[in-house]
Amino acid sequence: MIATSPSDVETQVGPLLGSIDRLGLYLESLREGGYITRVLNDFIATRGRSALVGRDDVGEDVIVLIRNAQFTMHVRTHRRPNPTIHSVSAAFVSVLLGEAPITVTRYRPARKIDYDIFEPGVELIEEAQLPYDGRFIAADPAVHTISEWHSPEPFLELRLALGSTVSQIWHFDRATRCSIFASLSNMKLTGLVTLARTFAALDDHRSLPFLKNLTSHESHIVRWTAIQSIGKLDRAEALVCLEAAASDSHPHIRTSAAKILHRTGGGGP
């Protein structure tokens, strides 16, 4: 399959989305077929006005080739290790471009973890260091290993990532290899949290129905932010939400809701 435009790539990827192996082989074919070269050549020749990539899709070391509801595809230059070792939020498949000598280091958390429930101090154990063989690499948050690529030279990665399946990315300190913080895994969650906080700051009751809907969102971070925002807008409504939250599926919400209810004298008949 020859791709000459972003729409070609979207059309070609669509039928492959159910199979990581087929996506991996497709990325290998994109690498061999010169599509990435064409995108970069055009970007340079047009001084950033290429029709193959949007202006907002180019960053310091990254060029986003496709971004849609099902997947994103980007090319990234790796110049130095990330400040932290981090987990992934979505299944993805990658190929490397170029000739740099790459080592893949594989870690696993010292115990089984739920990425949606962050805990500081969880240790990461190095499992293996393997040479990169040129074939595609796949990762999935459902598989608890974390892989990192290392090279003494910069290298280029082509990655296709599916939608996030966990709401947080865990970050591990590189020196101690212990978890130190978590960040939100995708733009939609970030947007909902931003919106909930903004509505609270605007102190306008028109946002209450929307915020109440968010208290049943699948992400516990969104649910808790919505409850906090409701608390700033309407105390009575917040108590109702907290009573429901006392039996939330997420332990942090249950604990926090119970504490607040205890402090305020709510939570019982």
Residues forming the site for another protein (CB under 8 A): 31, 34, 36-38, 40-41, 43-45, 47-48, 56, 58-61, 63, 75, 77, 83-84, 97-100, 154-156, 171, 173, 180-181, 183, 187-188, 190-191, 194-195, 197-198, 200-202, 204, 206-207, 209-210
Q: Which CB atom, from 50 or from 147, has the smaller least distance to another protein?
A: 50
Nearest distance, CB of residue 268 and another protein, angstroms: 32
Q: Which CB atom, from 20 or from 200, has the smaller least distance to another protein?
A: 200
The count of other CB atoms within 10 Å of the CB of residue 150 is: 15
Q: Which CB atom, from 140 or from 148, has the smaller least distance to another protein?
A: 148
Nearest distance, CB of residue 97 and another protein, angstroms: 5
Nearest distance, CB of residue 15 and another protein, angstroms: 26
Q: Which CB atom, from 86 or from 106, has the smaller least distance to another protein?
A: 86
Q: Which CB atom, from 20 or from 192, has the smaller least distance to another protein?
A: 192
Nearest distance, CB of residue 190 and another protein, angstroms: 5
- Phi, psi (rounded to 5 degrees) for 218: -70, -25
- The answer to whether 58 and 40 are in contact (CB under 8 A) is no
Nearest distance, CB of residue 142 and another protein, angstroms: 25
Instruction: Report the distance separating Cα 117 and Cα 156, nearest Å.
Output: 33
- Nearest one of 201, 195, 232, 236 to 213, comparing CA atoms: 195
Nearest distance, CB of residue 115 and another protein, angstroms: 17
Q: Which CB atom, from 139 or from 214, has the smaller least distance to another protein?
A: 214
User: DSSP per residue over 84-153, as a string?
Assistant: EEE--SEEEEEEEES----EEEEEEESS---TTS--TT-BEEEEEEEE--SS-EEE-TTS--EEEEE-SS
Nearest distance, CB of residue 207 and another protein, angstroms: 8
Nearby residues of 37 by Cβ (< 8 Å), 6 or more positions away: none
Q: Which CB atom, from 107 or from 172, has the smaller least distance to another protein?
A: 172
- Nearest one of 219, 242, 31 to 137, comparing CA atoms: 31
Residue 191 half-sphere exposure, CB side, CA atoms within 13 Å? 3
- Phi, psi (rounded to 5 degrees) for 178: -115, 145
**Maximum distance among all Cα pairs of the chain, rounded to whole angstroms:** 71
